[in-house]
A = this chain, B = another copy of it.
Amino acid sequence: MSQPSPPKAAAVVDIHTHMYPPSYVSMLRSRTEIPLVRTFPASPEDPRLILLSSEVPLLLEAESNPARSNQIIPGRPLTRHYSSLAQKIHFMDTHKIAISVLSLANPWLDFLSPAEAPLVAKETNTSFSDMCASHPGRLYFFGTLPLTAPTSEIQSCIDNLSRTPYCRGVILGTSGLGSGLDDPNLLPIFSALAEKNLTIFLHPHYGLPNQVYGPRQAEYGHVLPLALGFPMETTIAVTRMFLAGVFDSIPTLQIILAHSGGTLPFLAGRIESCIAHDGHLFSRQQQKTGGEKRRTLWEVLNTQIYLDAVVYSDVGVQAAVAASSGGERGGGGGGLERLMFGTDHPFFPPLGTDEQGEWESVSLNAQAVGRALGEGTEAAEKVMGGNAIRVLRLVGE
């Protein structure tokens, strides 16, 4: 095997690409509550992955009507795209992706008991490490933390990950230790991650309570929870972190937000205005001695936050770059250094066409970057791979 060498300038890097290692799939098969994997009598060759609470009503309907289970299909097909490394490499080759930074798909280990979580975390992180080692220079990964376990277990996992050659950070959901990422008890965890130079990849899973989608939500498939619930969950989580002062407390903490920050680039101005006009926060600020100037969300977007480019439109890519430049108040510059291409594979496979060919969900995002920044320009190349190589210290084949 040849020595690793620096990747080409125009190398495409996918920083948002998931897998379930085979052991994790086995666990999902054994479960009776979501997340779980089920096979229905009508199509025993087509196991279904049921992840979201919005999918539970259809699951219950399918289970109570086995005869109709070919019409009532809950969740999504669990294809080999989820667990086969050969399939991942094939997908990378098809889409000319030089390097993938793998991560466990949601909901990670959120549902495990304190006793189970460390074991599954170890098993999962070892699987990812082994996969990366089998394709040196083509694969890196974000590890998974056993967040339901005692703090000492979490810290020990961080220590291990920091010594694992191909690990570059951790994927994190929004629940934290159970009450969100603005929980002060998370600060030691965040500090340890920052200290070890492990970047957080923040990813949604829980969306919003189903009631917000109204009585006709089932007619719209998965569109409302996936298209709206996911990005809104991310936005709420990171805004809570910002309001709680997490970024000020740990200025070396680096976080990549999935789906271009959810809706953060578009709402940053409104968030800043609401803070500046809030009577409660204003009097608290007044009471503070010293009167130091508050760090704005724009400044945090320009220093500690990175965004993936999984936003499916040039409108979104442009807004993500502009917001990452520090918006209107940050003095511009730097936004092009902070956006990183991703695919969200194996979610959003093409419908009605060959899953081994090109995926529209990938080309939509690649085209959006090209349209927003110019096809093949230096700016586009940074977003398509250069930024990830720099930020995550990736070394190619």
Contact = CB atoms under 8 A, between A and B. Distances in A.
Given A243-B223, A277-B349, A266 B269 contact: no
Contacts of A219: 243-244
A27 interface: no
Contacts of A86: none
Contact of A266 (B215, B277, B286, B316): B316
A179 interface: yes
Contacts of A233: 212
Interface string A174-188: 000001101100000
Interface in A239-295: 239-240, 243-244, 259-260, 263, 265-282, 286
How would you classify the secondary structure of chain A's contact residues: helix, strand, loop or mixed? helix
A227 interface: yes
Contact of A312 (B265, B270, B313): B270
A57 interface: no
Chain A interface residue number, banded: 35 or more
A192 interface: no
With a 10 A CB-CB cut-off, give which of A221, A314, A348 has the most chain B CB atoms: A221
Interface in A321-337: 322-323, 327-328
14 contacts: A179-B215, A183-B216, A209-B209, A219-B243, A222-B274, A222-B278, A232-B235, A268-B315, A269-B368, A272-B312, A313-B323, A313-B328, A314-B322, A314-B327
A73 B243 CA distance: 20
Given A214-B240, A314-B327, 15 more contacts: A182-B216, A209-B209, A216-B240, A222-B274, A222-B280, A223-B243, A223-B281, A227-B270, A228-B232, A231-B270, A263-B267, A266-B315, A273-B348, A277-B360, A328-B367
Contact of A364 (B244, B269, B371): B269
A277 B351 contact: yes
A315 B361 contact: no
Interface of A: 73, 76, 179-180, 182-183, 208-209, 211-216, 219-224, 226-228, 231-233, 235-236, 239-240, 243-244, 259-260, 263, 265-282, 286, 311-316, 318-319, 322-323, 327-328, 348-352, 360-361, 364, 367-368, 371
A76 B279 contact: yes
B223 A228 contact: no
Contacts of A227: 239, 267, 270-271, 273-275
